[in-house]
Amino acid sequence: MNNFHLNILLYTKMAILSMLAMAASSSSSAAANVHPVILIPGSGGNQLEARLTSEYKSSSLVCNKWYPLKKDPDGWFRLWFDPTVIFRPFTKCFNRRMMIYYDPDEDDYHNAPGVETRVPHFGSIQSLLYLNPTLKGITSYMKPLVKSLEKVGYVSGNNLFGAPYDFRYALAAEGHPSKVASKYLADLKTLIESASASNGARPVILLTHSLGGLFALHLLNRSPISWRQKYIKRLITLAAPWGGTVGEMLTYANGNSFGVPLVDPLLVRDEQRSAASNLWLMPSPRVFNESKPLVVMANGTHYTSSDIGRFLGDIGFPEGVGPYETRVLPLGLRAPQVPVTCVVGTGVKTPEKLIYGGSGFGEQPVEIVYGDGDGTVNMVSLLAVETEWGGCKNQSLEVIKIDGVSHTEILKDENALGKIVGVVSSVNSGISMSSLVVRTFS
């Protein structure tokens, strides 16, 4: 090979190295110029681990000897999500360990005696990618969303973080304790400040799914406006159930297996009733028309959104009435005075009315009337903040509707992911929303 060819090769190598360096620099620059994102999952999108102490009393030999099938050296095991829960004997074990209890003297909730729980990997996206990392193929949760964010400059642990929580617990109205949920808000606040500090003091984008949107809203409204303005760039909510759902009434009355085969809804009903977060998701009279029946009985009795307390008593859950009326009902939807984008699915049939036969709540509804929504959350709830915040000063809001996308598919559908990442990219490019105008996009 002569000198001419050697020089060509040398110049070619130098050019390639230069382009690679420029690409790396561009990528690094892009990552440095984006606002950090904190992902806040929905209720079932959190992982939960448990450990049993000597105070725990097993309900059966099966629970004592064979459940769970696997523990770590310190006794911790996966409580949610564990696929063995679909087997009837293990379902009973799961229920007892998963239930929480309201103490009227303390006016707060706590775990079952002898059960310790923890939420793994707070601050990281690790536990949000899959509901169970050993079953990645069937339990993917935020993995598609994370992959989409990585394509526009986000790096886990650098400018992309996760804030999982114990989804059984909920916040309470002012004057009522909520130890577990309040600690979560404190930890989330610290994470926001840390994420901002490690990214050049850039304010944070909160990107939430479902119930996570309610936690984010209440964190903002319980923080000084000066803190919000310093640390929050945008709140982006996906499928937020602002005013609860009619489907939650079915969960309380008859249990809900969410389509999981082999699981009897009645077997999981007590555990579902015990969760404070499920009470929080009952249809709110602030949002649902108080004259419109949501549950109709064969004898003519009916229940509207203003009858939730009576409904809880009539289904045989009177212990839920007090916490609902004092802790949940006063919770509002005050505007956070930071820019908000709501992304919602539409055009998916969603339970709107439950009709029961002569056996009453002893059997599943004989008919379910469907309306618009995302399959889980009713449209009136998804769009509740349009009405609540429409006339609020210093509150910008845009609503993006995506037809045919369900409550969970919003995290996986290519069109939905494109819209979500588009919003994030517009924030990073400095495109601002009007501070006074409510905008809706379909």
CATH of the domain at 228: 3.40.50.1820
Q: Which residue has the tokens 């964190």?
A: 219
Residue 341 clears pLDDT 90, i.e. is over it: yes
Q: Tell me how far apart the alpha carbons of residues 145 and 127 are, in angstroms, rounded to a whole number.
A: 14
Q: Which residues pair with 374 in a beta bridge?
A: 348
CA atoms within 13 A on the CB side of 307: 18
Report the relative pairing of strands 232-238 and 204-209 from DSSP bridges: parallel
Q: What's the whole-model pTM score?
A: 0.91
Task: Give the closest residue to 47 by CA, choosing from 81, 10, 23, 76.
Answer: 81
Residue 23 falls within a domain, yes or no?
no
Residue 155 falls within a domain, yes or no?
yes
Position 15 confidence tier, pLDDT thresholds 50, 70, 90: very low
Q: What is the mean pLDDT of the chain?
A: 91
Collapsing DSSP states into helix, strand and coil, what is residue 377? Answer: coil
Answer with the residue of higher pLDDT: 89 or 3.
Answer: 89
Position 27 confidence tier, pLDDT thresholds 50, 70, 90: very low
* Cα-based distances in Å from 245 to 178, 187, 284, 418, 428: 22, 28, 8, 27, 33
Residue 388 falls within a domain, yes or no?
yes
Answer with the residue of higher pLDDT: 138 or 15.
Answer: 138
pLDDT at 11: 39
At 109-165, the pLDDT tens digits run 999 999 999 999 999 999 999 999 999 999 999 999 999 999 999 999 999 999 999
Q: For 318-324, what is the mean pLDDT?
A: 98
DSSP per residue over 388-414, as a string?
HHTT-TT--EEEEEEET--TTGGGT-H
Structure tokens at 186: 């404190």
Residue 221 clears pLDDT 50, i.e. is over it: yes
Collapsing DSSP states into helix, strand and coil, what is residue 369? Answer: strand
Residue 75 zone, left/alpha/beta (φ > 0; ψ -120 to 50; rest)? left
When mean pLDDT is compared across 54-58, 305-309, 322-326, the lowest value belongs to: 54-58
Query: Whole domain around residue 421: which residue ranges?
Result: 35-247+329-441
Residue 25 clears pLDDT 90, i.e. is over it: no
Give the H/E segment covering residue 272: helix 265-274
At 66-84, the pLDDT tens digits run 888 889 999 999 999 998 8
Buried b (16+ CB within 10 A) or exposed e, 279-298: bbbbbbbbbbeeeebbbbbe
Instruction: Give the number of domains in the chain.
Output: 1
Residue 31 clears pLDDT 60, i.e. is over it: no
Residue 28 clears pLDDT 80, i.e. is over it: no
Position 9 confidence tier, pLDDT thresholds 50, 70, 90: very low
Q: Tell me how far apart the alpha carbons of residues 242 and 380 are, in angstroms, rounded to a whole number.
A: 9
Residue 13 clears pLDDT 60, i.e. is over it: no
Residue 18 clears pLDDT 50, i.e. is over it: no
pLDDT at 2: 43
Collapsing DSSP states into helix, strand and coil, what is residue 305? Answer: helix
Q: For 319-344, what is the mean pLDDT?
A: 97
Distance of CA 351 to the CA centre of its chain: 20
Residue 56 clears pLDDT 50, i.e. is over it: yes
Residue 235 falls within a domain, yes or no?
yes
Q: Tell me how far apart the alpha carbons of residues 245 and 381 are, in angstroms, rounded to a whole number.
A: 7
Distance of CA 294 to the CA centre of its chain: 24
Residue 405 clears pLDDT 70, i.e. is over it: yes
Task: Give the closest residue to 108 by CA, choosing from 173, 177, 166, 174.
Answer: 177
pLDDT at 434: 61
Residue 18 falls within a domain, yes or no?
no
* Cα-based distances in Å from 404 to 152, 225, 258, 377: 26, 37, 19, 13
> Which sequence positions are flagged as catalytic?
210, 374, 407
Question: Residue 266: which residues within 8 A CB-CB, separation 6 or more?
Answer: 254, 255
Q: Which residue has the tokens 């209440």?
A: 218
pLDDT at 314: 98
Answer with the residue of higher pLDDT: 30 or 217.
Answer: 217
Answer with the residue of higher pLDDT: 257 or 441.
Answer: 257
Q: For 306-314, what is the mean pLDDT?
A: 98
Question: Residue 294: which residues within 8 A CB-CB, separation 6 or more?
Answer: 246, 249, 283, 288, 302, 303, 304, 305, 352, 353, 354
Residue 317 falls within a domain, yes or no?
no
Residue 206 clears pLDDT 50, i.e. is over it: yes
Residue 321 falls within a domain, yes or no?
no
Residue 360 falls within a domain, yes or no?
yes
Q: Are 240 and 383 in contact (CB under 8 A)?
A: no
Amino acid, single-letter form, for residue 81: F
DSSP per residue over 44-62, as a string?
GGS-EEEEE-TT---SSHH
Q: Tell me how far apart the alpha carbons of residues 116 and 50 are, in angstroms, rounded to a whole number.
A: 5
pLDDT at 16: 35
